[in-house]
């Protein structure tokens, strides 16, 4: 395998593009703006009302306001974004990832307006971004696949028929998106209806299209993806691979490059299959081909026609700037890397730091101000973030605060360095996934590469409450409110009970993660919380489903409401057996964390 000419990577990008509008927000917008500045290219940020003071706006050379708070009013509004680029004098648009990044209509609108779209053509996005069509292309290119549908599905009967033919579990997946949004796993026929409705609803909200398709879900597979790049001169290469198996809710938490434990022959086969796929659709730009790997075989999962969230681990082991390579290709230059399979240098690990409380394995989204953000100063450590101390995590968008990327000369060193960096990383003000990442990297299964996509949810135990340093209960056992409740930081939390149907949601979000020392105190709480039958929203969000009515009999663990927050649907369950009364929320209501949704009178 060849070596990347690191001194050449990204060269040529600055000469052809003069001003780029970044049609995104958060850490990826900050990441792109940084590379644009390095290459002497002016940047234009767009922002919603909620993001008026966001970091990507502060860093850009200029910004354009897109009024409204909901993403459909701004970051998903094609007409507004194209007009913003034209009015600002931008000559090109970078979509980042998420939002409109894989929207063929958007890519075409950009080019129709006489602007450069920094990504593949609308035709390529339409074919590969639409997952059902992508499966057909993969079959023609000779890329192995798991059983799946070749047309969108619209009824639960279709889901049940597929499960009968191919077996359970079945994955219901968004046809026009990725990142785990719009995906549900169906364990049996009784779950088909709810899973289909939820997947379609979430896909529509995240990607503007509610079409879904089905695949046989491989429950013991690893998730391995291959980075590809192609230019307008007919060159297409694969640039290494990444393991993304550590997931919760089908969304990645920890990624690494190169994927450990793969036979080199299998690695090369996956790379060449990815290149065949790209050439089959005349692909130009950055893309990622995702596979499931099980028992020494690989199966096509999907192709993401954009830069990936986890691209920094590839950059770390190849010494490249993949955003700069995107600019280079968009400017009409040939690839800076002439051959596939450049040899990686060392090992890199990325931990996604999200504003979520992992207590009890629930990963409840949580918005609020970041009082302090301190990044460790260690060799090989990088932190890509859309926030600084004093910024606020809004409840309207994705929960990601940043990505901790750590490089080491080998995997063992990278793991040790990442654990040390996680221990020193401070995000004060909101609960984060730092404890979850620490639990993953410290687990012997991770060191031994004994994990699959189901491993995190099935094998890793998380504490039932996030540790705090400011306040603690006087009573060490914390059982004053019963064994299903605990006082933490002067607030009452419900310890979730896990059942076959899932976990009960906490009455309130756990307190923020902190490393400070504080005094213990005890305070009174709401006597209606937790096991008493009060049903509260675990986070600020929008009620998108009410599954019960006054007087209904329910059982502990039964889903009563669904609250959407930070692009994630979160079921709110009853903590007791009883009868529903005093429903206080309807579909469409915006509720705060701890807001009472209903009361279940214990049986």
403-443 tens-digit pLDDT: 999 999 999 999 999 999 999 999 999 999 999 999 999 99
Residues 492 and 584 grouped into a single domain: yes
Residues 494 and 547 grouped into a single domain: yes
Identify the CATH number of the domain in which residue 533 sits.
2.40.50.100
Total count of domains within the chain: 3
Residues 537 and 587 grouped into a single domain: yes
Residues 421 and 500 grouped into a single domain: no
Tell me whether residue 71 is in a domain: no
- Distance (Å, whole) CA 150 – CA 399: 33
- Distance (Å, whole) CA 467 – CA 473: 12
Residues 495 and 598 grouped into a single domain: yes
Query: What stretches in the chain show pLDDT beneath 50?
Result: 1-14, 466-531
Identify the CATH number of the domain in which residue 207 sits.
3.30.1490.20
Q: Which domain holds residue 366?
A: 347-459
pLDDT the model gives residue 126: 92
- Distance (Å, whole) CA 98 – CA 181: 10
Q: Can you name the residues that pair with 393 across neighbouring β-strands?
A: 368
pLDDT the model gives residue 177: 66
Residues 441 and 514 grouped into a single domain: no
Residues 449 and 400 grouped into a single domain: yes
pLDDT the model gives residue 183: 83
Residues 455 and 354 grouped into a single domain: yes
Residues 449 and 522 grouped into a single domain: no
Tell me whether residue 502 is in a domain: yes
User: In sequence order, what E strands does 90-143 have?
Assistant: 92-94, 116-117
Tell me whether residue 298 is in a domain: no
List the alpha helices (DSSP H) in 294-349.
311-318, 322-330
Per-residue CA distances from 457 to 5, 295, 404, 453, 463 (Å) = 40, 21, 21, 9, 13
Residues 444 and 499 grouped into a single domain: no
pLDDT the model gives residue 523: 31
The residue out of 175, 198, 216 marking a domain boundary is: 216
Q: Can you name the residues that pair with 171 across neighbouring β-strands?
A: 185, 215
- Distance (Å, whole) CA 119 – CA 127: 14
Q: pLDDT tens digits for 471-505?
A: 333 343 433 333 344 333 333 334 333 333 333 33
In degrees and rounded to multiples of 5, residue 119 shows phi and psi of 170, -175
Identify the CATH number of the domain in which residue 353 sits.
3.30.470.20
Task: Specify the 3-state DSSP secondary structure of 87.
Answer: helix
pLDDT the model gives residue 495: 38
Tell me whether residue 89 is in a domain: no
Residues 577 and 498 grouped into a single domain: yes
- Both tokens of 559, joined, read 């889903």
pLDDT the model gives residue 476: 37
- Both tokens of 472, joined, read 């603690």
Q: Are 273 and 289 spatial neighbours (Cβ–Cβ below 8 Å)?
A: yes
Q: How many CB atoms lie within 10 A of CB 233?
A: 12
Tell me whether residue 95 is in a domain: no
The residue out of 194, 216, 238 marking a domain boundary is: 216
Tell me whether residue 72 is in a domain: no
Tell me whether residue 61 is in a domain: no
Residues 455 and 492 grouped into a single domain: no
The residue out of 408, 441, 459 marking a domain boundary is: 459
Tell me whether residue 41 is in a domain: no
Q: How many CB atoms lie within 10 A of CB 155?
A: 11
pLDDT the model gives residue 490: 35
């Amino acid at each position: 395998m060849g070596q990347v000419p690191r001194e050449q990577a990204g060269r040529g990008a600055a000469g052809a593009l003069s001003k780029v509008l970044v049609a995104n927000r958060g850490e990826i917008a900050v990441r792109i703006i940084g590379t644009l500045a390095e290459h002497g290219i002016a940047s234009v940020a767009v922002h919603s009302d909620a993001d008026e003071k966001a970091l990507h706006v502060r860093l850009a050379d200029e910004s354009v306001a897109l009024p409204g708070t909901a993403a459909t009013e701004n970051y998903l509004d094609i007409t507004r974004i194209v007009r913003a680029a034209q009015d600002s004098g931008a000559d090109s648009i970078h979509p980042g990832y998420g939002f409109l990044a894989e929207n063929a209509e958007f890519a075409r609108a950009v080019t129709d307006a006489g602007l450069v779209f920094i990504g593949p053509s609308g035709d390529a996005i339409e074919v590969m971004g639409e997952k059902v069509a992508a499966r057909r292309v993969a079959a023609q290119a000779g890329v192995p696949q798991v059983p799946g549908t070749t047309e969108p599905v619209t009824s639960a009967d279709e889901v049940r028929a597929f499960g009968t033919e191919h077996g359970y579990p079945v994955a219901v997946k968004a046809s026009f998106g990725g990142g785990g949004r719009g995906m549900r796993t169906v364990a049996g026929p009784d779950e088909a209806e709810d899973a289909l409705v939820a997947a379609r609803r979430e896909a529509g909200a995240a990607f503007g299209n509610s079409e879904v398709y089905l695949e046989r879900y491989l429950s013991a597979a690893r998730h391995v993806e291959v980075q590809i790049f192609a230019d307008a001169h007919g060159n297409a290469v694969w640039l290494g691979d990444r393991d993304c198996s550590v997931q919760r809710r089908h969304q990645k938490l920890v990624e690494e490059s190169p994927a450990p434990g793969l036979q080199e022959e299998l690695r090369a086969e996956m790379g060449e299959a990815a290149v065949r796929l790209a050439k089959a659709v005349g692909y130009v730009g950055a893309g990622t081909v995702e596979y499931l790997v099980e028992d020494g075989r690989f199966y096509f999962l999907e192709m993401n026609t954009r830069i990936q969230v986890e691209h920094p681990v590839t950059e770390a082991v190849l010494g490249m700037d993949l955003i700069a390579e995107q600019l280079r290709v968009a400017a009409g230059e040939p690839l800076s890397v002439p051959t596939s399979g450049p040899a990686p240098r060392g090992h890199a690990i990325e931990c996604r730091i999200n504003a979520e409380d992992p207590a009890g394995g629930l990963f409840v989204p949580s918005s609020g101000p970041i009082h302090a953000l301190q990044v460790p100063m260690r060799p090989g450590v990088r932190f890509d973030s859309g926030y600084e101390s004093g910024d606020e995590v809004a409840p309207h968008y994705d929960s990601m605060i940043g990505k901790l990327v750590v490089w080491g000369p080998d995997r063992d060193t990278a793991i040790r360095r990442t654990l040390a960096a996680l221990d020193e990383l401070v995000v004060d003000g909101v609960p984060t996934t730092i404890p979850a990442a620490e639990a993953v990297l410290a687990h012997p299964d991770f060191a031994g590469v004994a994990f699959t996509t189901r491993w995190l949810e099935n094998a890793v135990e998380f504490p039932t409450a996030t540790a705090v340093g400011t306040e603690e209960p006087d009573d060490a056992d914390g059982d004053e409110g019963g064994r299903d409740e605990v006082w933490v930081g002067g607030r009452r939390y419900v310890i979730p009970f896990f059942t076959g149907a899932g976990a009960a949601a906490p009455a309130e979000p756990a307190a923020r993660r902190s490393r400070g020392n504080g005094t213990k105190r005890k305070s009174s709480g709401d006597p209606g919380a937790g096991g008493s039958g009060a049903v509260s929203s675990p986070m600020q969000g929008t009620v998108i489903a009410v599954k019960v009515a006054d007087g209904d009999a329910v059982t502990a663990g039964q889903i009563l409401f669904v609250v959407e927050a930070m692009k994630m649907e979160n079921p709110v369950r009853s903590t007791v057996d009883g009868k529903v009364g005093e429903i206080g929320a309807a579909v469409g209501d915006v509720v705060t964390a701890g807001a009472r949704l209903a009361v279940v009178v214990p049986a």
